[in-house]
Chain A
Protein backbone atom coordinates (compact mmCIF):
# COMPACT_ATOMS: atom_id res chain seq x y z
CA UNK A 1 0.00 0.00 0.00
CA UNK A 2 2.86 2.36 0.73
CA UNK A 3 3.52 2.82 -2.99
CA UNK A 4 0.16 4.65 -3.28
CA UNK A 5 0.48 6.61 -0.07
CA UNK A 6 4.04 7.71 -0.76
CA UNK A 7 3.26 8.62 -4.35
CA UNK A 8 0.14 10.54 -3.38
CA UNK A 9 1.98 12.44 -0.65
CA UNK A 10 4.82 13.29 -3.04
CA UNK A 11 2.32 14.25 -5.74
CA UNK A 12 0.37 16.62 -3.57
CA UNK A 13 3.42 18.36 -2.21
CA UNK A 14 4.45 18.86 -5.85
CA UNK A 15 1.01 20.26 -6.66
CA UNK A 16 1.11 22.58 -3.67
CA UNK A 17 4.58 23.85 -4.53
CA UNK A 18 3.51 24.62 -8.10
CA UNK A 19 6.49 22.63 -9.34
CA UNK A 20 4.50 20.75 -11.96
CA UNK A 21 3.37 23.67 -14.09
CA UNK A 22 0.04 21.99 -13.48
CA UNK A 23 -2.27 24.95 -14.17
CA UNK A 24 -0.77 25.43 -17.58
CA UNK A 25 -1.38 21.74 -18.33
CA UNK A 26 -4.96 21.84 -16.97
CA UNK A 27 -5.75 25.02 -18.94
CA UNK A 28 -4.42 23.49 -22.16
CA UNK A 29 -6.54 20.36 -21.55
CA UNK A 30 -9.64 22.47 -21.00
CA UNK A 31 -9.05 24.80 -23.93
CA UNK A 32 -8.52 21.97 -26.39
CA UNK A 33 -11.32 19.69 -25.17
CA UNK A 34 -13.96 22.40 -24.64
CA UNK A 35 -13.29 23.75 -28.14
CA UNK A 36 -13.57 20.22 -29.55
CA UNK A 37 -16.83 19.50 -27.68
CA UNK A 38 -18.41 22.78 -28.87
CA UNK A 39 -17.52 22.01 -32.50
CA UNK A 40 -18.77 18.43 -32.09
CA UNK A 41 -22.07 19.69 -30.65
CA UNK A 42 -22.61 22.07 -33.56
CA UNK A 43 -22.04 19.23 -36.02
CA UNK A 44 -23.21 16.23 -33.99
CA UNK A 45 -26.61 17.46 -32.73
CA UNK A 46 -28.08 18.16 -36.20
CA UNK A 47 -26.63 14.85 -37.40
CA UNK A 48 -28.10 13.06 -34.38
CA UNK A 49 -31.47 14.75 -34.94
CA UNK A 50 -31.60 13.52 -38.53
CA UNK A 51 -30.66 10.01 -37.42
CA UNK A 52 -33.18 9.98 -34.59
CA UNK A 53 -36.19 11.48 -36.32
CA UNK A 54 -36.37 10.33 -39.93
CA UNK A 55 -37.09 6.81 -41.00
CA UNK A 56 -35.25 5.67 -44.10
CA UNK A 57 -32.60 3.23 -45.23
CA UNK A 58 -30.05 6.03 -44.96
CA UNK A 59 -31.04 6.54 -41.37
CA UNK A 60 -30.39 2.95 -40.46
CA UNK A 61 -26.98 2.98 -42.17
CA UNK A 62 -26.18 6.28 -40.45
CA UNK A 63 -27.09 4.86 -37.05
CA UNK A 64 -24.87 1.85 -37.66
CA UNK A 65 -22.06 4.24 -38.62
CA UNK A 66 -22.56 6.42 -35.54
CA UNK A 67 -22.75 3.43 -33.21
CA UNK A 68 -19.68 1.87 -34.77
CA UNK A 69 -17.99 5.27 -34.59
CA UNK A 70 -18.44 5.22 -30.83
CA UNK A 71 -15.98 2.34 -30.83
CA UNK A 72 -13.57 4.11 -33.19
CA UNK A 73 -10.09 3.45 -31.74
CA UNK A 74 -8.70 6.90 -30.86
CA UNK A 75 -5.21 5.73 -31.70
CA UNK A 76 -6.32 5.02 -35.28
CA UNK A 77 -7.89 8.48 -35.46
CA UNK A 78 -4.58 9.88 -34.19
CA UNK A 79 -2.62 7.97 -36.81
CA UNK A 80 -4.89 9.11 -39.66
CA UNK A 81 -4.87 12.76 -38.54
CA UNK A 82 -1.08 12.71 -37.99
CA UNK A 83 -0.48 11.28 -41.46
CA UNK A 84 -2.84 13.80 -43.05
CA UNK A 85 -1.28 16.82 -41.32
CA UNK A 86 2.35 15.67 -41.64
CA UNK A 87 4.66 17.74 -43.84
CA UNK A 88 4.61 14.83 -46.25
CA UNK A 89 0.82 14.44 -46.03
CA UNK A 90 -1.93 16.02 -48.14
CA UNK A 91 -2.46 18.95 -45.72
CA UNK A 92 1.24 19.30 -44.86
CA UNK A 93 1.56 22.85 -46.20
CA UNK A 94 -0.35 24.23 -43.18
CA UNK A 95 2.28 22.93 -40.73
CA UNK A 96 -0.45 21.88 -38.28
CA UNK A 97 1.00 18.65 -36.89
CA UNK A 98 2.06 18.95 -33.23
CA UNK A 99 -0.19 21.93 -32.53
CA UNK A 100 -3.40 22.57 -30.58
CA UNK A 101 -5.58 22.75 -33.72
CA UNK A 102 -4.36 19.26 -34.64
CA UNK A 103 -5.51 18.01 -31.22
CA UNK A 104 -8.91 19.68 -31.63
CA UNK A 105 -9.34 18.02 -35.04
CA UNK A 106 -8.60 14.56 -33.63
CA UNK A 107 -10.88 15.07 -30.64
CA UNK A 108 -13.75 16.31 -32.83
CA UNK A 109 -13.50 13.17 -34.96
CA UNK A 110 -13.55 11.00 -31.83
CA UNK A 111 -16.50 12.77 -30.16
CA UNK A 112 -18.84 13.44 -33.11
CA UNK A 113 -20.09 9.81 -33.42
CA UNK A 114 -20.64 9.70 -29.64
CA UNK A 115 -22.62 12.92 -29.57
CA UNK A 116 -24.59 12.04 -32.71
CA UNK A 117 -25.49 8.56 -31.43
CA UNK A 118 -26.57 9.73 -27.96
CA UNK A 119 -28.55 12.61 -29.51
CA UNK A 120 -30.24 10.20 -31.92
CA UNK A 121 -31.28 7.97 -29.03
CA UNK A 122 -32.67 10.94 -27.11
CA UNK A 123 -34.54 12.33 -30.11
CA UNK A 124 -36.09 8.99 -31.04
CA UNK A 125 -37.52 8.71 -27.55
CA UNK A 126 -39.54 11.93 -28.01
CA UNK A 127 -43.18 10.81 -28.65
CA UNK A 128 -43.95 10.83 -32.36
CA UNK A 129 -47.44 12.15 -31.63
CA UNK A 130 -45.97 15.34 -30.21
CA UNK A 131 -44.14 16.08 -33.42
CA UNK A 132 -47.12 15.19 -35.59
CA UNK A 133 -49.28 17.47 -33.50
CA UNK A 134 -46.78 20.29 -33.89
CA UNK A 135 -46.78 19.78 -37.65
CA UNK A 136 -50.56 19.73 -37.80
CA UNK A 137 -50.64 23.00 -35.88
CA UNK A 138 -48.56 24.49 -38.71
CA UNK A 139 -45.00 24.24 -37.37
CA UNK A 140 -42.24 24.32 -39.99
CA UNK A 141 -39.60 21.56 -40.19
CA UNK A 142 -37.18 23.83 -38.34
CA UNK A 143 -39.72 24.59 -35.57
CA UNK A 144 -40.45 20.88 -35.29
CA UNK A 145 -36.73 20.18 -34.92
CA UNK A 146 -36.29 22.86 -32.28
CA UNK A 147 -39.29 21.52 -30.34
CA UNK A 148 -38.02 17.93 -30.53
CA UNK A 149 -34.49 18.82 -29.49
CA UNK A 150 -35.90 20.86 -26.59
CA UNK A 151 -37.92 17.85 -25.47
CA UNK A 152 -34.80 15.68 -25.76
CA UNK A 153 -32.53 18.08 -23.88
CA UNK A 154 -31.87 15.62 -21.01
CA UNK A 155 -30.36 13.26 -23.52
CA UNK A 156 -28.32 16.11 -24.97
CA UNK A 157 -26.78 16.75 -21.57
CA UNK A 158 -25.79 13.08 -21.53
CA UNK A 159 -24.32 13.56 -25.02
CA UNK A 160 -22.15 16.44 -23.77
CA UNK A 161 -21.00 14.43 -20.77
CA UNK A 162 -20.17 11.40 -22.92
CA UNK A 163 -18.29 13.46 -25.52
CA UNK A 164 -16.35 15.56 -23.04
CA UNK A 165 -15.48 12.60 -20.83
CA UNK A 166 -14.22 10.62 -23.79
CA UNK A 167 -11.87 13.23 -25.18
CA UNK A 168 -10.48 14.85 -22.05
CA UNK A 169 -9.36 11.43 -20.82
CA UNK A 170 -8.05 10.24 -24.19
CA UNK A 171 -4.30 9.93 -24.58
CA UNK A 172 -3.27 8.00 -27.71
CA UNK A 173 -4.51 10.41 -30.34
CA UNK A 174 -3.49 13.64 -28.58
CA UNK A 175 0.00 12.25 -28.00
CA UNK A 176 0.34 11.42 -31.70
CA UNK A 177 -0.95 14.69 -33.10
CA UNK A 178 -0.04 17.05 -30.26
CA UNK A 179 3.45 15.81 -29.43
CA UNK A 180 3.21 16.64 -25.69
CA UNK A 181 5.19 19.89 -26.17
CA UNK A 182 5.63 21.66 -22.87
CA UNK A 183 3.52 24.79 -22.55
CA UNK A 184 1.95 24.15 -25.94
CA UNK A 185 0.33 20.77 -26.44
CA UNK A 186 1.03 19.05 -23.12
CA UNK A 187 -2.30 18.02 -21.60
CA UNK A 188 -3.11 16.07 -18.45
CA UNK A 189 -3.20 12.63 -20.07
CA UNK A 190 0.03 13.02 -22.03
CA UNK A 191 1.76 14.48 -18.97
CA UNK A 192 0.64 11.43 -16.96
CA UNK A 193 2.15 9.10 -19.56
CA UNK A 194 5.36 11.11 -19.54
CA UNK A 195 5.76 11.21 -15.76
CA UNK A 196 5.08 7.51 -15.41
CA UNK A 197 7.64 6.74 -18.14
CA UNK A 198 10.10 8.80 -16.13
CA UNK A 199 9.33 6.77 -13.01
CA UNK A 200 7.81 9.85 -11.33
CA UNK A 201 4.71 8.06 -10.12
CA UNK A 202 3.91 10.79 -7.58
CA UNK A 203 3.62 13.50 -10.21
CA UNK A 204 1.67 11.15 -12.50
CA UNK A 205 -0.76 10.17 -9.76
CA UNK A 206 -1.31 13.79 -8.68
CA UNK A 207 -2.24 14.75 -12.25
CA UNK A 208 -4.50 11.69 -12.39
CA UNK A 209 -6.35 12.90 -9.32
CA UNK A 210 -6.74 16.38 -10.84
CA UNK A 211 -8.09 14.84 -14.07
CA UNK A 212 -10.56 12.63 -12.19
CA UNK A 213 -11.74 15.59 -10.10
CA UNK A 214 -12.36 17.63 -13.22
CA UNK A 215 -14.44 14.87 -14.81
CA UNK A 216 -16.44 14.57 -11.58
CA UNK A 217 -17.01 18.34 -11.36
CA UNK A 218 -18.18 18.50 -14.97
CA UNK A 219 -20.56 15.59 -14.36
CA UNK A 220 -21.92 17.18 -11.17
CA UNK A 221 -22.66 20.33 -13.18
CA UNK A 222 -24.27 18.42 -16.05
CA UNK A 223 -26.31 16.18 -13.72
CA UNK A 224 -27.43 19.32 -11.91
CA UNK A 225 -28.69 20.68 -15.22
CA UNK A 226 -30.57 17.45 -15.86
CA UNK A 227 -32.30 17.30 -12.49
CA UNK A 228 -33.14 21.01 -12.40
CA UNK A 229 -34.63 20.47 -15.85
CA UNK A 230 -36.80 17.69 -14.41
CA UNK A 231 -37.97 19.94 -11.56
CA UNK A 232 -38.77 22.67 -14.07
CA UNK A 233 -40.83 20.23 -16.08
CA UNK A 234 -42.88 19.11 -13.09
CA UNK A 235 -43.56 22.80 -12.47
Chain B
Protein backbone atom coordinates (compact mmCIF):
# COMPACT_ATOMS: atom_id res chain seq x y z
CA UNK B 1 0.00 0.00 0.00
CA UNK B 2 2.79 2.43 -0.83
CA UNK B 3 0.75 4.24 -3.44
CA UNK B 4 -2.79 4.76 -2.27
CA UNK B 5 -5.07 5.64 -5.18
CA UNK B 6 -7.61 7.32 -2.89
CA UNK B 7 -5.98 10.42 -1.41
CA UNK B 8 -8.17 12.49 0.91
CA UNK B 9 -8.41 15.17 -1.77
CA UNK B 10 -9.50 12.85 -4.55
CA UNK B 11 -12.00 11.27 -2.20
CA UNK B 12 -13.52 14.68 -1.50
CA UNK B 13 -13.66 15.46 -5.22
CA UNK B 14 -15.32 12.12 -5.94
CA UNK B 15 -17.83 12.72 -3.16
CA UNK B 16 -18.69 16.12 -4.55
CA UNK B 17 -19.11 14.66 -8.04
CA UNK B 18 -21.38 11.90 -6.77
CA UNK B 19 -23.51 14.41 -4.85
CA UNK B 20 -23.80 16.58 -7.96
CA UNK B 21 -24.93 13.65 -10.10
CA UNK B 22 -27.52 12.65 -7.51
CA UNK B 23 -28.84 16.20 -7.21
CA UNK B 24 -29.05 16.58 -11.00
CA UNK B 25 -30.92 13.33 -11.44
CA UNK B 26 -33.43 14.39 -8.79
CA UNK B 27 -33.99 17.69 -10.58
CA UNK B 28 -34.33 15.91 -13.92
CA UNK B 29 -36.89 13.47 -12.53
CA UNK B 30 -38.96 16.23 -10.97
CA UNK B 31 -39.18 18.14 -14.21
CA UNK B 32 -40.81 15.15 -15.91
CA UNK B 33 -44.29 15.93 -14.78
CA UNK B 34 -47.28 14.40 -16.43
CA UNK B 35 -48.90 17.68 -17.39
CA UNK B 36 -47.29 20.63 -19.07
CA UNK B 37 -48.01 23.36 -21.53
CA UNK B 38 -47.41 23.47 -25.24
CA UNK B 39 -45.96 26.42 -27.11
CA UNK B 40 -49.35 28.06 -27.59
CA UNK B 41 -50.03 28.19 -23.87
CA UNK B 42 -52.77 25.56 -23.99
CA UNK B 43 -52.53 22.69 -21.54
CA UNK B 44 -51.05 19.43 -22.85
CA UNK B 45 -51.96 16.21 -21.10
CA UNK B 46 -50.19 12.92 -21.44
CA UNK B 47 -52.11 10.03 -22.91
CA UNK B 48 -50.87 6.47 -22.44
CA UNK B 49 -51.66 3.90 -25.12
CA UNK B 50 -50.97 0.27 -24.29
CA UNK B 51 -50.37 -1.82 -27.37
CA UNK B 52 -48.53 -4.95 -28.36
CA UNK B 53 -44.90 -5.46 -29.20
CA UNK B 54 -45.83 -6.70 -32.68
CA UNK B 55 -47.66 -3.44 -33.43
CA UNK B 56 -44.66 -1.50 -32.12
CA UNK B 57 -42.26 -3.65 -34.17
CA UNK B 58 -44.34 -2.97 -37.30
CA UNK B 59 -43.33 0.69 -37.14
CA UNK B 60 -46.93 1.90 -37.47
CA UNK B 61 -46.69 4.14 -34.40
CA UNK B 62 -43.92 6.17 -36.00
CA UNK B 63 -46.62 7.48 -38.39
CA UNK B 64 -49.64 7.25 -36.14
CA UNK B 65 -48.32 9.23 -33.15
CA UNK B 66 -47.28 12.40 -35.03
CA UNK B 67 -50.51 12.32 -37.08
CA UNK B 68 -52.67 12.02 -33.95
CA UNK B 69 -50.75 14.72 -32.08
CA UNK B 70 -51.05 17.06 -35.03
CA UNK B 71 -54.81 16.58 -35.15
CA UNK B 72 -55.08 16.78 -31.33
CA UNK B 73 -52.31 19.10 -30.08
CA UNK B 74 -53.75 19.03 -26.55
CA UNK B 75 -52.50 15.46 -26.06
CA UNK B 76 -49.04 13.93 -25.85
CA UNK B 77 -49.35 10.27 -26.86
CA UNK B 78 -47.05 7.72 -25.23
CA UNK B 79 -47.03 4.10 -26.33
CA UNK B 80 -46.27 1.23 -23.96
CA UNK B 81 -45.62 -1.89 -26.03
CA UNK B 82 -46.19 -5.11 -24.10
CA UNK B 83 -47.91 -8.45 -24.67
CA UNK B 84 -51.70 -8.45 -25.06
CA UNK B 85 -52.01 -10.01 -21.59
CA UNK B 86 -50.07 -7.23 -19.91
CA UNK B 87 -51.77 -4.56 -22.05
CA UNK B 88 -55.15 -5.70 -20.72
CA UNK B 89 -53.68 -5.84 -17.20
CA UNK B 90 -52.37 -2.27 -17.60
CA UNK B 91 -55.89 -1.23 -18.57
CA UNK B 92 -57.41 -2.96 -15.55
CA UNK B 93 -54.94 -1.21 -13.22
CA UNK B 94 -55.58 2.13 -15.02
CA UNK B 95 -51.89 2.39 -15.86
CA UNK B 96 -52.97 2.91 -19.47
CA UNK B 97 -55.72 5.16 -20.82
CA UNK B 98 -56.49 3.43 -24.09
CA UNK B 99 -55.68 0.02 -25.63
CA UNK B 100 -54.96 -1.01 -29.21
CA UNK B 101 -54.71 -4.80 -29.23
CA UNK B 102 -55.63 -7.83 -31.33
CA UNK B 103 -57.24 -10.62 -29.34
CA UNK B 104 -60.93 -10.21 -30.02
CA UNK B 105 -62.48 -12.52 -27.42
CA UNK B 106 -60.24 -11.15 -24.64
CA UNK B 107 -61.10 -7.60 -25.70
CA UNK B 108 -64.82 -8.32 -25.63
CA UNK B 109 -64.49 -9.91 -22.18
CA UNK B 110 -62.51 -6.85 -21.02
CA UNK B 111 -65.36 -4.53 -22.00
CA UNK B 112 -68.04 -6.93 -20.71
CA UNK B 113 -66.35 -6.95 -17.28
CA UNK B 114 -66.63 -3.17 -17.22
CA UNK B 115 -62.90 -2.36 -17.60
CA UNK B 116 -63.38 -0.76 -21.02
CA UNK B 117 -65.90 1.78 -22.30
CA UNK B 118 -66.39 0.16 -25.71
CA UNK B 119 -64.50 -1.79 -28.37
CA UNK B 120 -64.33 -0.73 -32.00
CA UNK B 121 -62.79 -2.47 -35.02
CA UNK B 122 -59.81 -0.50 -36.34
CA UNK B 123 -57.91 -2.48 -38.96
CA UNK B 124 -56.53 -5.90 -39.75
CA UNK B 125 -53.26 -7.26 -40.95
CA UNK B 126 -52.33 -10.80 -41.80
CA UNK B 127 -50.01 -13.43 -40.50
CA UNK B 128 -47.56 -15.36 -42.61
CA UNK B 129 -45.58 -18.51 -41.92
CA UNK B 130 -41.86 -18.03 -42.38
CA UNK B 131 -39.14 -20.62 -42.48
CA UNK B 132 -35.74 -21.50 -43.94
CA UNK B 133 -35.22 -20.75 -47.62
CA UNK B 134 -34.91 -24.50 -48.33
CA UNK B 135 -38.37 -25.06 -46.73
CA UNK B 136 -37.11 -28.20 -44.99
CA UNK B 137 -40.59 -29.36 -43.98
CA UNK B 138 -42.21 -28.67 -47.37
CA UNK B 139 -44.71 -26.15 -45.97
CA UNK B 140 -44.98 -24.08 -49.17
CA UNK B 141 -46.99 -26.70 -51.06
CA UNK B 142 -49.84 -26.71 -48.51
CA UNK B 143 -53.41 -26.01 -49.71
CA UNK B 144 -54.48 -24.15 -46.55
CA UNK B 145 -53.19 -22.98 -43.15
CA UNK B 146 -54.18 -26.24 -41.45
CA UNK B 147 -52.20 -28.28 -43.97
CA UNK B 148 -49.23 -25.94 -43.48
CA UNK B 149 -49.26 -26.54 -39.72
CA UNK B 150 -49.54 -30.31 -40.33
CA UNK B 151 -46.45 -30.15 -42.57
CA UNK B 152 -44.51 -28.32 -39.85
CA UNK B 153 -45.55 -30.92 -37.28
CA UNK B 154 -43.58 -33.47 -39.29
CA UNK B 155 -40.72 -32.03 -37.27
CA UNK B 156 -38.06 -31.78 -39.99
CA UNK B 157 -37.20 -28.35 -38.56
CA UNK B 158 -38.16 -26.76 -35.23
CA UNK B 159 -41.12 -24.42 -34.88
CA UNK B 160 -40.66 -21.41 -32.61
CA UNK B 161 -43.74 -20.31 -30.73
CA UNK B 162 -43.85 -17.04 -28.85
CA UNK B 163 -45.42 -18.90 -25.93
CA UNK B 164 -46.21 -15.59 -24.25
CA UNK B 165 -50.00 -15.59 -24.27
CA UNK B 166 -49.94 -12.69 -26.76
CA UNK B 167 -52.56 -12.15 -29.44
CA UNK B 168 -50.16 -13.64 -31.98
CA UNK B 169 -49.51 -16.65 -29.72
CA UNK B 170 -53.24 -17.23 -29.29
CA UNK B 171 -53.71 -17.09 -33.05
CA UNK B 172 -50.97 -19.67 -33.52
CA UNK B 173 -52.51 -22.01 -30.92
CA UNK B 174 -55.84 -21.73 -32.74
CA UNK B 175 -54.17 -22.77 -35.99
CA UNK B 176 -52.79 -25.91 -34.32
CA UNK B 177 -56.28 -26.63 -33.11
CA UNK B 178 -57.72 -26.22 -36.60
CA UNK B 179 -55.02 -28.57 -37.90
CA UNK B 180 -55.78 -31.08 -35.06
CA UNK B 181 -52.15 -31.06 -33.94
CA UNK B 182 -51.18 -30.92 -30.27
CA UNK B 183 -47.69 -29.41 -30.30
CA UNK B 184 -47.24 -29.17 -26.50
CA UNK B 185 -44.15 -31.05 -25.41
CA UNK B 186 -43.08 -32.08 -28.93
CA UNK B 187 -39.30 -31.93 -29.48
CA UNK B 188 -39.68 -29.74 -32.57
CA UNK B 189 -41.88 -27.23 -30.71
CA UNK B 190 -39.94 -24.52 -28.85
CA UNK B 191 -41.20 -21.51 -26.92
CA UNK B 192 -39.29 -18.24 -26.70
CA UNK B 193 -41.59 -16.38 -24.32
CA UNK B 194 -40.54 -13.21 -26.16
CA UNK B 195 -41.89 -10.68 -28.62
CA UNK B 196 -42.27 -11.19 -32.37
CA UNK B 197 -39.00 -9.54 -33.36
CA UNK B 198 -36.96 -11.66 -30.96
CA UNK B 199 -38.80 -14.84 -31.90
CA UNK B 200 -38.10 -14.16 -35.59
CA UNK B 201 -34.41 -13.75 -34.77
CA UNK B 202 -34.37 -17.09 -32.93
CA UNK B 203 -36.18 -18.85 -35.81
CA UNK B 204 -33.70 -17.34 -38.26
CA UNK B 205 -30.61 -18.28 -36.23
CA UNK B 206 -31.87 -21.83 -35.67
CA UNK B 207 -33.31 -22.18 -39.20
CA UNK B 208 -36.78 -23.09 -38.04
CA UNK B 209 -40.33 -21.96 -38.70
CA UNK B 210 -42.52 -19.42 -36.95
CA UNK B 211 -45.80 -17.60 -37.53
CA UNK B 212 -45.45 -13.82 -37.66
CA UNK B 213 -47.48 -10.77 -38.58
CA UNK B 214 -46.44 -9.55 -42.01
CA UNK B 215 -45.52 -6.08 -40.78
CA UNK B 216 -42.90 -7.21 -38.29
CA UNK B 217 -41.42 -9.62 -40.80
CA UNK B 218 -41.15 -6.99 -43.57
CA UNK B 219 -39.58 -4.52 -41.14
CA UNK B 220 -36.92 -7.01 -40.08
CA UNK B 221 -36.48 -8.90 -43.34
CA UNK B 222 -33.00 -7.57 -44.06
CA UNK B 223 -31.67 -8.92 -40.76
CA UNK B 224 -33.24 -12.36 -41.13
CA UNK B 225 -32.38 -15.58 -42.96
CA UNK B 226 -35.95 -16.85 -43.27
CA UNK B 227 -38.53 -16.29 -46.02
CA UNK B 228 -42.34 -16.39 -46.29
CA UNK B 229 -43.27 -20.01 -47.03
CA UNK B 230 -47.06 -19.78 -46.60
CA UNK B 231 -49.58 -16.90 -46.78
CA UNK B 232 -53.03 -15.83 -47.92
CA UNK B 233 -55.46 -18.10 -46.01
CA UNK B 234 -58.28 -15.96 -44.43
CA UNK B 235 -57.60 -18.05 -41.32
CA UNK B 236 -54.45 -15.94 -41.00
CA UNK B 237 -56.19 -12.54 -40.79
CA UNK B 238 -55.75 -10.56 -37.57
CA UNK B 239 -58.32 -8.01 -36.37
CA UNK B 240 -57.29 -5.02 -34.22
CA UNK B 241 -59.62 -3.24 -31.81
CA UNK B 242 -59.37 0.02 -29.84
CA UNK B 243 -60.72 0.29 -26.27
CA UNK B 244 -60.81 3.43 -24.09
CA UNK B 245 -60.32 2.33 -20.47
CA UNK B 246 -63.22 2.98 -18.04
CA UNK B 247 -62.44 5.82 -15.59
CA UNK B 248 -59.02 6.29 -17.19
CA UNK B 249 -56.61 8.89 -15.80
CA UNK B 250 -56.97 10.74 -19.11
CA UNK B 251 -60.52 9.79 -20.05
CA UNK B 252 -61.02 12.55 -22.63
CA UNK B 253 -57.74 11.76 -24.31
CA UNK B 254 -58.59 8.06 -24.45
CA UNK B 255 -61.90 8.79 -26.13
CA UNK B 256 -60.27 11.30 -28.49
CA UNK B 257 -57.74 8.69 -29.62
CA UNK B 258 -60.39 6.01 -30.12
CA UNK B 259 -62.54 8.41 -32.12
CA UNK B 260 -59.61 9.65 -34.18
CA UNK B 261 -58.23 6.25 -35.17
CA UNK B 262 -61.61 5.13 -36.58
CA UNK B 263 -62.19 8.49 -38.32
CA UNK B 264 -61.46 8.93 -42.04
CA UNK B 265 -58.30 10.80 -41.11
CA UNK B 266 -56.92 8.03 -38.86
CA UNK B 267 -57.96 5.29 -41.26
CA UNK B 268 -56.13 7.07 -44.09
CA UNK B 269 -52.86 7.09 -42.12
CA UNK B 270 -53.24 3.35 -41.58
CA UNK B 271 -54.04 2.64 -45.25
CA UNK B 272 -50.97 4.53 -46.40
CA UNK B 273 -48.49 3.11 -43.94
CA UNK B 274 -45.94 0.82 -45.55
CA UNK B 275 -46.74 1.63 -49.19
CA UNK B 276 -43.68 3.78 -49.61
CA UNK B 277 -41.22 1.43 -47.87
CA UNK B 278 -42.55 -1.99 -48.80
CA UNK B 279 -44.62 -1.31 -51.89
CA UNK B 280 -47.77 -2.56 -50.15
CA UNK B 281 -49.85 -1.43 -47.17
CA UNK B 282 -49.18 -3.42 -43.99
CA UNK B 283 -52.61 -2.90 -42.43
CA UNK B 284 -56.08 -2.78 -43.96
CA UNK B 285 -58.33 -0.22 -42.20
CA UNK B 286 -61.84 -1.56 -41.61
CA UNK B 287 -63.53 0.69 -39.03
CA UNK B 288 -67.26 1.01 -39.52
Bind each other: yes
Binding site for B on A (CB under 8 A): 3, 55, 63, 86-88, 95, 97-98, 124-125, 128, 175, 179-182, 184, 186, 190-191, 194, 196-201
Of A86, A124, A198, the contact of B164 (CB 8 Å cutoff)? A198
Q: Given A55-B3, A124-B1, A198–B194 Cβ distance below 8 Å?
A: no
Q: Given A86-B205, A87-B225, A98-B206, A182–B163 Cβ distance below 8 Å?
A: yes
A19 to B38 Cα, complex, angstroms = 50
Of B5, B164, B190, B201, the contact of A197 (CB 8 Å cutoff)? B164
Tell me which residues across on chain B come within 8 A of A180, comparing CB atoms: 192-194
CB distance from A190 to the nearest CB of B (A): 7
For residue B70, CB closer than 8 A to chain A, the reply is no
- Report yes or no: B165 in contact with A198, Cβ–Cβ below 8 A: yes
Interface centre among B1, B2, B191, B193 (most CB of A within 10 A): B193
Tell me which residues across on chain A come within 8 A of B131, comparing CB atoms: none
For residue B202, CB closer than 8 A to chain A, the reply is yes
Tell me which residues across on chain B come within 8 A of A88, comparing CB atoms: 225
Contact size class for B? 20 to 34
Tell me which residues across on chain B come within 8 A of A201, comparing CB atoms: 89
For residue B108, CB closer than 8 A to chain A, the reply is no
CB distance from B131 to the nearest CB of A (A): 15
Of A63, A191, A196, the contact of B86 (CB 8 Å cutoff)? A196
Q: What total count of A-B pairs have CB within 8 Å?
A: 68
27 contacts between A and B (CB under 8 A): A55-B2, A63-B5, A86-B205, A87-B204, A87-B205, A95-B205, A98-B205, A179-B194, A179-B202, A180-B193, A180-B194, A181-B192, A181-B202, A186-B193, A194-B193, A194-B194, A197-B83, A197-B85, A197-B86, A197-B164, A197-B195, A198-B85, A198-B164, A199-B82, A199-B83, A199-B86, A200-B165
CB distance from B57 to the nearest CB of A (A): 14
Residue interface mask B1-15, A partner, CB < 8 A = 1: 111010000000000
Q: CB-nearest residue of chain A relative to B93?
A: A3
Q: CB-nearest residue of chain A relative to B1?
A: A124
CB distance from B53 to the nearest CB of A (A): 8
A125 to B1 Cα, complex, angstroms = 7
Residue interface mask B190-217, A partner, CB < 8 A = 1: 1111110010011011100000000000
Residue interface mask B71-109, A partner, CB < 8 A = 1: 000000000001101111110010000000000000000
A63 to B6 Cα, complex, angstroms = 13
Please name the 9 residue pairs, one residue from A and one from B, whose CB atoms are nearest each other, closest first.
A199-B89, A194-B193, A199-B86, A199-B85, A182-B191, A198-B85, A180-B193, A198-B165, A179-B202
Tell me which residues across on chain A come within 8 A of B83, comparing CB atoms: 197-199
Residue interface mask B166-189, A partner, CB < 8 A = 1: 100000000000000000000000
Q: Given A197-B83, A199-B85, A97–B205 Cβ distance below 8 Å?
A: yes
A3 to B90 Cα, complex, angstroms = 13
Tell me which residues across on chain B come within 8 A of A97, comparing CB atoms: 205
Tell me which residues across on chain B come within 8 A of A95, comparing CB atoms: 205-206
CB distance from A118 to the nearest CB of B (A): 15
CB distance from A206 to the nearest CB of B (A): 16
- Report yes or no: B193 in contact with A191, Cβ–Cβ below 8 A: yes
A97 to B86 Cα, complex, angstroms = 28
Q: Given A98-B205, A125-B1, A179–B164 Cβ distance below 8 Å?
A: no
Tell me which residues across on chain A come within 8 A of B87, comparing CB atoms: 199
Q: Given A124-B1, A179-B194, A194–B205 Cβ distance below 8 Å?
A: no
A184 to B198 Cα, complex, angstroms = 16
